């Protein structure tokens, strides 16, 4: 077992509240739309650090439609509903994005929506927030790297924990999910705080 990897300390965690008490500022609540936006920003971060292509599923498309635009909570929820509906119909990748954009913002060109969306800048922004807010030796940071930079699934990470510690895979999945939820909540509020206190262009949170 690699002692330097905090991931393998998760079997010692009994409750999500224990993770929150040690590694974050307590319980925080974010909306589904805010969680999707945060996942997209983390995906950009992982893409540029890990070198992989960004995912082409629902989260990516929803994030691309929301990024650097002002949307109300109702509008954000409509975006999610539209994209998920088209995804269920079988649309994927650029086709899913184009069709969703036509429904959500009819008549708008892709250049108008994404004109100020600079992926590298956003990835660097997320990295700076990650560095300040998520401790390097925490299992939450370890899960972030494995999920978004290495593109590993929750199941795969849980099997890795099982391999190194003998910990039950299902219980491992639960703890990885706990880490993901905390990561999203901490990163959302940290990014929101910085955006509101600087001249960073509008982002749909």
Section 144-153 average pLDDT: 90
Mean pLDDT of 159-180: 96
Give the pLDDT confidence score for residue 10 in this predicted structure: 95
Range among 35-39, 55-59, 87-91 rated most confident? 35-39
Q: From residue 85, how far is each of 58, 73, 81, 199 by CA, in Å?
A: 10, 18, 6, 35
The owner of tokens 């949307």 is: 71
Average pLDDT over residues 32-46: 87
Percent of the chain at pLDDT exceeding 70: 75
pLDDT, mean over the chain:
79
Lowest-confidence pick of 60-64, 148-152, 157-161 = 60-64
Angle between helices 58-66 and 73-88 (to 10 degrees): 150
| Residue among 101, 96, 124, 100 nearest 112 (CA) | 101
Q: Check whether 47 has a pLDDT greater than 90.
A: no
112: pLDDT strictly greater than 80: no
Greater pLDDT, 112 or 180: 180
Contacts of 67 (CB under 8 A, 6+ apart): 37, 40, 114, 117, 122, 203, 204
Residue-level pLDDT at 99: 80
Secondary structure letter of residue 89 according to DSSP: T
Band of pLDDT at residue 57, cut at 50, 70 and 90: low
The predicted structure's pLDDT at residue 110: 46
Mean pLDDT of the region 71-98: 77
State the average pLDDT over residues 161-167. Answer: 94
Domain spans of the chain?
1-23+134-198, 30-115
Q: By mean pLDDT, which of 107-111, 113-117, 168-172 is the weakest?
A: 113-117
Q: Provide long-range contacts, Cβ within 8 A and 24+ apart, for 190-196.
A: 190/129, 190/132, 190/133, 191/38, 191/41, 191/125, 191/126, 191/129, 194/125, 194/129
What single-letter DSSP state applies at residue 90?
T
* pTM for the predicted model, two decimal places: 0.69
User: How buried is 75 (Cβ within 10 angstroms: 0-12 exposed, 13-18 middle, 19+ buried)?
Assistant: middle
Looking at residue 201, its pLDDT comes to 46
Cβ partners under 8 Å of residue 194, min gap 6 = 125, 129, 200
pLDDT score, position 70: 55
- Predicted confidence at residue 2, as pLDDT, reads 42
Q: 113 vs 183, which has greater pLDDT? A: 183
CA-CA distance, 191 to 186, in Å (whole number)? 9
């Amino acid at each position: 077992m690699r002692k330097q990897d905090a991931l393998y300390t998760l079997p010692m965690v009994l409750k999500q509240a224990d993770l929150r008490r040690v590694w974050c500022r307590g319980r925080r609540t974010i909306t589904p739309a805010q969680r999707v936006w945060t996942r997209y920003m983390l995906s950009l971060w992982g893409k540029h650090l890990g070198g992989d292509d960004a995912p082409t599923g629902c989260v990516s498309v929803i994030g691309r439609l929301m990024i650097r635009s002002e949307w109300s909570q109702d509008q954000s929820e409509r975006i999610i509903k539209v994209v998920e509906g088209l995804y269920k119909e079988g649309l994927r990748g650029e086709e899913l994005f184009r069709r969703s954009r036509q429904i959500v913002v009819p008549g708008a060109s892709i250049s108008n929506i994404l004109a100020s969306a600079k992926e590298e800048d956003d990835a660097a922004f997320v990295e700076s927030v990650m560095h300040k807010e998520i401790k390097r030796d925490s299992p939450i940071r370890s899960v972030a790297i494995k999920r978004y930079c290495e593109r590993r699934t929750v199941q795969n990470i849980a099997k890795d924990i099982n391999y190194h510690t003998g910990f039950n895979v299902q219980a491992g999945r639960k703890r990885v999910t706990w880490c993901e939820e905390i990561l999203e909540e901490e990163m959302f509020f940290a990014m929101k705080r910085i955006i509101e206190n600087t001249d960073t262009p509008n982002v749909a949170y």
